[in-house]
Amino acid sequence: MEPYATAEQVWAGGLIFARVGAILMLLPGFGESYVPPRVRLSLALVLSLALWPIVGSSLPVLPATLGATVGWVIREVLTGLAIGAILRSFMTAMTTAGEIVSLQTTLGFSQTANPLQAQPGTTLSAFLMLLGVTLVFATNTHHLFIGGMVGSYEAIAPARPLIVSDFTAMAVRTLSQSFMLGVQLAAPVLVFALIFNLASGLVARVMPSFQVYFAAAPLSVILGLSVFTLSLGVLGTVFIDRYRSVAAFFTGGAVG
């Protein structure tokens, strides 16, 4: 390797590749099962070569022992997995919104294969997950991922101790915010379902002989999907704005 790169350069590139490759394994859109592994590895290699002149000065020197070398690599892989998991966990807001809408419109039984998850889910949740990934690329939010990779070397520099408590607190906060956002995104359908169910119950009390269920079930689906369709534009705008703020968090160079 000496005619092409020194041992220190190979070490720096490999250390960057360990973190960047781990992040790409979990990023929305890049880390999906339908993306070929060779494509992800090639992209991680290209990004590592591009980031090396920028973040190379913050990397530690080549350790003298094999144990220290393996320890640094494992540390960078764990750091990358933690960052990727935080960015990916916020996507569960769309799944939560889809499950709530499906439950309120009596479409929870409609299951389909979700290409972004390892298990099937409701049709609406799979649709919203695909919509979320599409919005990430349509609004160039994936550019913030690269900025976040660079900013992560300032926020979690390899020479500094790995702050596990801050990562844990941020993961818990991100998951709680994603669940709350999912409920907020489904709020129009929740309000509709509350009013509709109250009206159906009132009709059932006033007219006991009237079969309310047979009339309410199709109306619940039609009207609920209509409300969902009308609120879809606002839903996507709110989600991508919140997700961009999460993606830009590491770009700002702060954690915790």
The pLDDT value given to residue 256: 36
pLDDT in tens, 154-175: 878 787 777 777 788 888 888 8
Global confidence as pTM: 0.80
pLDDT in tens, 71-90: 889 989 988 898 888 888 88
C-alpha closest to that of 220 among 248, 200, 247: 200
Q: Band of the pLDDT at 195, cuts 50, 70, 90? A: very high
33-112-233 Cα angle (round to 5): 85
The pLDDT value given to residue 253: 42
Distance between CA atoms of residues 131 and 123, nearest Å:
12
Q: Are 92 and 178 in contact (CB under 8 A)?
A: yes
Q: Are 200 and 216 in contact (CB under 8 A)?
A: yes
Q: Are 149 and 20 in contact (CB under 8 A)?
A: yes
- 134 compared with 160, residue with greater pLDDT: 134
What is the Rg, in whole angstroms, of the alpha carbon atoms belonging to the chain? 23
